[in-house]
Structure 1
């Protein structure tokens, strides 16, 4: 981080004071932002964890029903399955402290058409419904994971900027301002001495010319 460039005299000191005020206010705002981001990130991490568990549970349930259906009907029972079709997914977005991230997902699995053959047995019908739920759970997990990552990454960037301000930039400005104050005080003292010399006195006493 470059040292602050300061013009000499009172103008330089005034500029340093303004820069220091701006840096301190910026650090305070970043600190507030970081607290909000951390709180939100923790919430999103919990949501992500719950969504992941639900997805795994739904997927395991669907696989159990599928195994039962295959035990009852054999491999040929899968021949009645309809051709693969795409699910529909709609994602809504929101923002946290300026960070845009997904909020919710509406997932619609492929619907069975009237001409599609029915599952070969009840277990496969349950498997079909369970896989649809697993698909919805997977979409919810993907949204939660993406949101937690986006907010978490912004929290890391904000923490770095805050650290740079408080550990580097603000102390440098404070040091520069202290040096400017000393230089200005010394300059004013020297000016006062020169004025007294010009007036014929030093420390209140006449001096020999």
Structure 2
């Protein structure tokens, strides 16, 4: 899929787009043929930091190799920039000031890629909280900083997970893997003053 960023045009309803992506994802077990052909996403459920309600966001991701010392492998697949209609780790999401829509709200409409590692065999997935290179963190990220207990839907599998923000050398390593897999997000960090969070989702299988 080409690296294209979804424009923030008047009347563009990202929440509606996310809802459509989520519906197809759940109906097909993650095989997107109508909304985002060729994209590989996960659905991330966070708990609203104010409402206490569940919010679902489609996100692009990188899966880490199952061995402790191996870094994330990539297969060169592209995904839109974490913001395209997908973000390396973020894929679809709105960057509104709310807590996140029930249909998703991460970083862009979703168009994301995975990695050369089979995510079903990995216990760590990595996503990117770009929010379409917005000056503020996406709501899904703010939600998980308040409550790191999340749920990840990977194909037909639904798994509890714990989210942490990568720091120091780990962030450098994981960020490089994200950019390699999703070139569309490469320039996002340079466009904002905030450090865009690299989030690790530890699957509790």
TM-score (norm 2): 0.20
Higher helix proportion = 1
Higher strand proportion = 2
TM-score (norm 1): 0.20
Question: Which protein has greater RCO, CA pairs closer than 8 Å, 6+ apart?
Answer: 1
